[in-house]
Structure formats: structure tokens, C-alpha cells
Structure 1
Amino acid sequence: MLLYEAFADIPRPSEIDACPCCVDSKNLCVLTSLPLRDISADDLGPYAASAFLTVGDVPDYLYFLPRIMECSALNEFWWPVPEVTGRAIANTHPTEWPAPRRVAWHNFLSALIAHLLNQADSGSEIDSWLCAMARMELDLHPFLTQIEQSPPHVLSFYEANANHLTQLKLANQFWDLPNAGHDQILAWFGSENVGDIVFQAYGVILYHDCK
């Protein structure tokens, strides 16, 4: 995974600040002693879920981030869910990362969306990751353009949000409004191309409703 190379200049933390009531010190010792790729999803989960709340800071989080993303991408039911990870990543200001790191990040997320587009019935996962990316404060247009090329996945994503779109909202419970990415997705659902896909499948004139 190229993310490991993009973040390879970040040193392993020797210690991690944490609330002793919230994070087991033995767990933190595992994180600071094992090679990054050898840290298990179970060991990394408590840190990743609590990052910037009761444990961690930007330098150590960026060190663990490639492994966090690998665990998220490979384990559909891992906690933290992508939306929680997206909230944490925003604390590192990803739009201000060095250019090579931002390129690697975009390529990883684009490859992740491409992988989901090769899976049937992945609308809920697409919904989850787009919300996560929006919480990272990223521009969603490139990823929405990818999704638009697959009408079945447009419809699956639509079905995950259909009951809320008439209220100009998205259904994912992790949306914290206002959010620019949320508005980008609404505008995308309101576009003629996406609206036509939905109309042909369900007879719903979506783009009139969402403009």
C-alpha cells in the first residue's frame, strides 16, 4: 500500500498521551513496540476510535494512519467506522499535508471507491466512505464522478438516502451539519445525469426536488 510509503517519514511514537481511565496502558505499549504493519486491528481499534478525544495527538495519529486505513478498508465491521475515522483525520488538516502525501491519499481513496464499485450492493459502504471523506473536509467531486459511471451503484447510494432527500438531507447519522461535502452530494443527486438514472429506475424526478 502506497500510503505506508507516503507516511514513512513520520517516526514511531515512543509514548502516547492518553487518559488512563479510557485507554489501557498495555494496549499503548503494544502500539509503540510492534512494527506498524504487524499491529492487529483489535489492538489498533481502541486508539483509533478515541483519537483526539481521550488519546493521541497529530504526530502519533499520522504515524498510525496508514494502518488505520488498511484496517478500515479490509474490515467492513471494524470499529471505528469510517465516519469516526474521518472526524479524527480532519484534526490533522489533510488539505495542508505535503503534496506527495496528498496525492497518495487521493489515490488510495479513489482506489477504495473503485473497489466498492466492483462489489454488488455496496451502496451503504459508499455512503459511509463519502460521509467520512466529507468529514475529512475533502472535495468529493472526483469520487462522485467515479460513482456516476456505475448506474447500479448510483441507485444503491440513492436507496440509502431516498427517504431523506426530499428534505434536502442525507440519511447517514454521522453527518454534522453544516458540511460542504454534504451539500456537494445533494447537488450531485440534483444533477441531470444522476437524476436521469434515478428517474429511469423509479420514475422519481429527483433533480427537480433537490435543486
Structure 2
Amino acid sequence: MTGLRNLITGLPDAFAAAPRPARVEGCPCCTSPAGPDALLRTPRERLGPEELAHYAGAVLDTVGSPADLRYFAPRILQLLLTGELACPELESFCLKLARASWQDWPEAPYLRRLFHALWQDVLGDGEEWWDAEAVLCAVAAADPATVEPALAEWARLATPTAVERLHEFLLHSGTEPRNAFWDRRAPGYRAFTDWLCDPVLLAAVEEAVHRTENPAHLEQLFTVHAVLETQRHRPAR
């Protein structure tokens, strides 16, 4: 996780040029003026989950704007990716980043590196508990163009962790994504469902079987293969 950890730590410096808002507007029916403005009385890097949870969940709906989201985004991402902030989910927050047009921000290249490192960590670090589908859904929400490269990387099954993540997903969901934050009309969702049914993935699993000697990993691969093979022979709906 070293590369990802360094990027998480570096978020405040990467967003150093993001202007601090003079105030944070909120819906008068849903938010007291003292709530959003209280965020500005504490240095951004010292804001904790208690202060940011409501804003992070409600921003662009009943509070805040794209401009102040840019200012608070690095701290919210730090808390989400270290597990200190449990709500909103990462998928939900990435949807908000997309609504705020984060790819037009000067910090966009840094965020792309962060999302790439996050996915690499999902596939490569067995000591970190990541829900692969949740992270893929979040990445798809933030930047749909990254989904197919992410799936191609997963299909390589280059690490025991990549095999374990696929095994976990298929045991839990079969070949139908179940994360509630997927937009089933979006290209990212369609790319994922197509990938799960693609003979190329089945062939990649078979190739991984031939190069794997660890009995536990082989058992996972055999299970993955069985689930994918069953799906291949299932009648089309």
C-alpha cells in the first residue's frame, strides 16, 4: 500500500491551490447556517469524520457547491480511504466528484493517479481489506473511461490477491454486480457485466490454473472457473 498511502498523504499538498471558500451555502430548510460555516473555522487538514460526514453526504444536494467541494475533497478522500469516514460510501462520493466535474480541476492528474493506485492496491495487497466491486464502482463513477483498463488488469490474475478478489466477488454475487451504486445504464456497468461473461476471462482463469502451484489458490481458481463456466451455459434471458 506504500504508493497509495503516499498519494493519500499528499492530497493536501496536491490541493494547496484550491481556494478556501468564504462560506458554505446550505438549504435553509435542511441545514442550519452554523453547520456548514463551522467547517471553515477549522483548518481543512484538522477536520475529522464528525465534522465532515454531513457535508460529504449532502454536498451538491442540500449543501455546498462544486467550488467548495474542490476545497474539501482532499480531506474527505483521506478519511474515506483510510477508513476513518464510513459514510458516505466511496462510491457515493465519487458520484459527487463526477457531478462537480472534477476532471476539469487542476488537481485532476493527481486524482487519476490516486484512483489508479487504489485499484492497484485492490489487486495487489492482500493485507488490506478492499471490496473489489465497491472500488470498481467508485472508479467507474469518477471516471468511466478507466473501467475497461481496470478490468483488463484484473483479468491478468497476476497476483494471488487478484484471484482472491475475483473469488470473493463471484461467491457473493455470481456474475451479476450487486452494488447499489451502479448505474445500470452506464457504460461502466455494461463493461463489467460483459467482462464477467466474456470467454476471455474464462481463458485467463484456465491459464492461471496452469501456472499456479499453491493448493489454496488453485482451489479458488477452480471455484471461479466453475462459476464462470456455469454462467456461460446458462440460457440467455
TM-score by length of 2: 0.74
User: In 2 relative to 1, CA 209–72 (structure 1 residues): closer, same or farther, beyond 3 Å?
Assistant: farther
Residue 193 of structure 2 corresponds to residue 200 of structure 1:
no
Indicate yes or no: 2:132 matched with 1:126: yes
How far is 1:193 from its partner?
4.4
Q: Matched residues in 2 for 1:38 and 1:121: separation?
A: 25
Give CA deviations for 1:14-65 in whole Å, capped at 9, x if unaligned: 1011013323433323311211110011110100100111001110001111
Q: RMSD across aligned C-alpha pairs, in angstroms?
A: 2.7
The 3 A distance-change label for structure 1 pair 146 and 17 is same
Cα deviation code 1:143-168 (max 9, x no counterpart): 32343332111222223321xx3xxx
The aligned residue for residue 29 of structure 2 is 21
Structure 1 residue 78: Cα displacement: 0.9
Q: Deviations over 1:133-188 (max 9, x none)?
A: 222243212332343332111222223321xx3xxx42112223301110111122
Q: SS of the counterpart of 1:160?
A: helix
Give the 5 Å matches for 1:169-188.
Answer: 169-188=176-195
Which runs of no fewer than 5 residues in structure 1 stay unpaired?
none
Is this contact kept in 1: 2:56–2:76, CA < 8 A? yes
Per the TM alignment, residue 2 of structure 1 is displaced from its structure 2 partner at its CA by 3.2
CA–CA distance in structure 1, aligned partners of residues 70 and 235 of structure 2:
37
| Alignment match, 2:210 | none
- CA separation of 1:188/1:30 partners in 2, compared to 1, >3 Å: closer, same or farther? same
Which is further off, 30-39 or 133-142? 133-142
For 2:192 and 2:140, how far apart are their aligned partners in 1? Answer: 9
Residue 165 (structure 2) aligns with:
153
Give the match for residue 106 of structure 1.
112
Distance 1:153 1:175 in 2: 18
> Structure 2: how far apart are the matches of 1:23 and 1:112?
33
| Runs of at least 5 residues in structure 2 that lack an aligned partner in the other structure | 1-8, 206-219
Correspondence for 1:44 among 48, 52, 59: 52
Q: In 2, distance between residues paired with 1:105 and 1:95?
A: 9
SS across alignment from 1:54 = coil
Deviation at 1:105, TM superposition (A): 1.0
Distance 1:157 1:94, change over 3 A: farther
The percent identity for this pair of structures is 24
Q: Deviations over 1:56-79 (max 9, x none)?
A: 111000111111111111117611
TM superposition score normalised by structure 1: 0.82
Q: For 1:175 and 1:112, how far apart are their aligned partners in 2?
A: 19
The alignment of Structure 1 onto Structure 2 pairs a total of residues equal to: 203
Deviates more, 1:127-136 or 1:47-56: 127-136
The one-letter amino acid paired with 1:133 is: V
Aligned pair in 2 of structure 1 residues 64, 208: CA closer, same or farther (>3 Å)?
Answer: farther
Question: Highest CA radius of gyration, 1 or 2?
Answer: 2
